[in-house]
Structure 1
Amino acid sequence: MSDPSEPRSVARAVERLRLAESSLSRRRQTDCGPSETARAAMRIVYDSADAGKRVTPTDIASALGISTPTVTTILRRLHDGGLVTFERNPDDGRSKYVAPIDRNADITGLDPITARVRDLARTLDDDTAGEVTRLLDAIADAVDAECR
């Protein structure tokens, strides 16, 4: 193994992570943990809450490019897993908002890899966590920008 402080080793580690995520995604298509679509829906719920915006199932369906009934099924599973709650829209009685219940909830049964990542992240000091966060955010932005 090469020196972990070399930038090339960081790039190799990120590529290994991307391959592992891709492989996990394929395995999860056979009902092994939350699907990629469920994880994407949860990310939309979290990001909306962080931005102080309310999000509806229709908003999530539109953002993901999938049908509202499919989102309803995904949200029902996330709700049953204790990750989201539904709030009545006071302006439209037929509509509801989706909100995260608790970002720090114990999700080991629903998504053990996220629980494991949280445990690993807790081992970092504040400075290192900040550096890793900035790097991973920049990598996520680069991945998101690809093929758009």
Structure 2
Amino acid sequence: MPVEEKTLTAALAVERLRLAEARLARRRQTQCGPSETARAAMRYILERADDGSPATPTEIAEHLGLATASMTGILHRLRGGGLITFQRNPDDGRSKRVVPVDRSADIDEIDPLTARIREFAGGLTEREADHVARFLEAVTEAVDGECL
């Protein structure tokens, strides 16, 4: 069964996106400061701080789909960079909370790419956003299911 041109266009656009993300990940490893995972962790830490419920390392690891051992290394690098600190968790003396050192930091400055993507999404109608979101969720599930 032949692939429709519009379907092929969407599939090729996703492939270009995946290649661009791979190039960005390589650049960030060598030239651009924190890794994508560290940036995602920092976004989550800032969002949780804004909500008044600082996250624990385990919660951050679960949110990002990482092992807690991997998260520990990322958090220690963020702390070494002066971006976060750890506080005793008053609800559980065995755990700690992760808090930003400077809450005046703007999430968009830490991750300007995400800010640009949100700006692009703001130009979509509700229906377009729904279609794009469903399509990208399906692609995400396929990517997550690969090599299991």
Same fold (TM over 0.5): yes
> Who is 1:73 aligned against?
76
Aligned pairs for 1:88-127 within 5 A: 88-98=88-98, 106-127=106-127
Aligned pairs for 1:26-65 within 5 A: 26-41=26-41, 56-58=56-58, 60-61=60-61, 63-65=65-67
Q: Is the 8 A contact 2:45 2:98 kept in 1?
A: yes
Following the alignment from structure 1 to structure 2, what is the Cα–Cα distance between the partners of residues 30 and 136? 28
Q: Runs of at least 4 residues of structure 1 off by over 6 A?
A: 43-46, 84-87
Q: Secondary structure at the match of 1:32?
A: coil
Q: CA deviation at 1:116?
A: 1.0
- Give the helix-richer structure, 1 or 2: 2
Following the alignment from structure 2 to structure 1, what is the Cα–Cα distance between the partners of residues 142 and 6? 20
Q: Is 2:17 aligned against 1:14?
A: no
* Higher CA-based Rg: 2
Q: CA deviation at 1:77?
A: 7.5
Structure-2 change in CA distance of 1:93 and 1:79 (3 Å): farther
Structure-2 change in CA distance of 1:107 and 1:59 (3 Å): closer
Percent identity (aligned): 54
Give the count of matched residue pairs.
Answer: 133
Q: Is the 8 A contact 1:54 1:98 kept in 2?
A: yes
> Who is 1:138 aligned against?
138
Following the alignment from structure 2 to structure 1, what is the Cα–Cα distance between the partners of residues 44 and 110? 18
Q: Is the 8 A contact 2:39 2:111 kept in 1?
A: no
Q: CA deviation at 1:96?
A: 2.2
Following the alignment from structure 2 to structure 1, what is the Cα–Cα distance between the partners of residues 118 and 80? 22
Q: Is the 8 A contact 2:57 2:72 kept in 1?
A: no
Q: Which segments of 5 or more consecutive residues in structure 1 lack a partner in the other structure? A: none
Q: CA deviation at 1:72?
A: 2.2
Q: Secondary structure at the match of 2:110?
A: coil
Q: Which segments of 5 or more consecutive residues in structure 2 lack a partner in the other structure? A: none
Q: Structure 2 length normalisation: TM-score?
A: 0.67
